[in-house]
Amino acid sequence: MFKSSFPFEPILRNHLLIGLGIAVWVFVFLYFTEPLDVNEFNATEKLLFLPLYGLVGALAYLLVLPFQVWLYRKNEKFWSLKSEFFFICFFLSIGLILSRSIYLYIIVPNEPNPYTLSYYTKSIYLPAIATILPIILIGRWAFGKFRENKLSTKKIEIEGEGTYEGLRLHLNDLVAIKADDNYIAVSFLDNNKLKKQLIRNKLSTIAMAHPDLLRTHRSYLINPYHFVQWKMNSGKLHAVLTSEIEIPVSKTYADDTKAVLGQQ
């Protein structure tokens, strides 16, 4: 079960919304529950200091997003409950470090008896996390599920010339297409197994019909969704895709390819 899939959301804009939600919720929690002896603050001091914790929570979340991207690519663009668990643990660790720093150096600087790390973690940080973590998980799941539902309805049809058979599949099941004389060789996933099919058509025709695909070479189109990493092979740049497929990137298309894949 721990290896079962968990909806994944790669769009930064939606993660910014989650970060904003964290910032607001942390501020509200601290303002009304007063776990940091904030009852000793006047109204002005509450509005001055407490939003810092909210901003720290949002910052901690955004800081670990590169780790999420790395982990997603490392697992060949598969996000599991295990991946989600590691992400959340990393986020909580960074959040603890940052919030503890705010407490020591801004809230109670030079105080002789600040809360110990143990007490701060068990009595303040973890209770606060217990209230906000379900919201974070639900938000991440909801954004990811919405994206998955959109993708599941988006299909692509690779047509053949004349009476030749084409291929209809989900866009994200298509990995790459290679020109092969008067045919194109389509690499795609079928129940997570890589398959190939020859179709009589021209690569240029497919490129014009399907702008979601990326031209990396005069003989290759790829689906940016399946990009994993870059690789140099014999001094030439290659894009490594799902199932360790290596696609050459020619100088003609290198700048456009890097610009697109750099956002994946």
Average pLDDT for the chain: 87
CA distance 223 to 261: 10
Q: pLDDT tens, 202-235?
A: 999 999 999 889 999 999 999 998 999 999 988 8
118 with 238, same domain?
no
- The domain containing residue 215 runs over which residues? 156-261
In a domain, 144, yes or no: yes
Domain total of the chain: 2
Q: Which of 124, 96, 146, 95 is nearest to 37 (CA)?
A: 124
In a domain, 4, yes or no: no
Domain boundary among 102, 136, 152: 152
166 with 78, same domain?
no
71 with 179, same domain?
no
134 with 221, same domain?
no
Q: pLDDT tens, 160-206?
A: 876 557 898 888 899 999 998 889 999 999 888 999 999 999 999 99
126 with 160, same domain?
no
Q: pLDDT tens, 95-122?
A: 999 999 988 988 888 888 888 999 999 9
In a domain, 7, yes or no: no
Q: Locate 220 and state its tokens.
A: 């290759």
125 with 211, same domain?
no
Q: Would you say the pTM of this structure is higher than 0.85? A: no
Average pLDDT of 228-254? 93
Q: Which of 239, 222, 220 is nearest to 230 (CA)?
A: 239
- Report whether pLDDT(73) > 60: yes
Domain boundary among 152, 175, 190: 152
In a domain, 45, yes or no: yes
- Report whether pLDDT(1) > 60: no
- Report whether pLDDT(244) > 80: yes
Q: pLDDT tens, 129-150?
A: 888 899 899 999 999 988 877 7
In a domain, 246, yes or no: yes
Q: pLDDT tens, 48-68?
A: 778 888 999 999 999 999 999
Domain boundary among 131, 152, 173: 152
- Report whether pLDDT(23) > 90: yes
Looking at residue 192, its pLDDT comes to 83
> Is residue 30 within 8 Å of residue 50, measured between CB atoms?
yes
In a domain, 5, yes or no: no
CA distance 102 to 117: 13
Number of Cβ within a 10 Å radius of residue 85:
12
Residue 192 vs residue 257, higher pLDDT = 257
In a domain, 102, yes or no: yes
141 with 170, same domain?
no
125 with 186, same domain?
no
Looking at residue 231, its pLDDT comes to 93
Residue 44 burial by Cβ neighbours in a 10 Å radius (0-12, 13-18, 19+)? exposed
49 with 137, same domain?
yes
Q: How confident is the model at residue 37 (pLDDT cuts 50, 70, 90)?
A: low
73 with 162, same domain?
no
In a domain, 1, yes or no: no
CA distance 60 to 89: 11
109 with 74, same domain?
yes
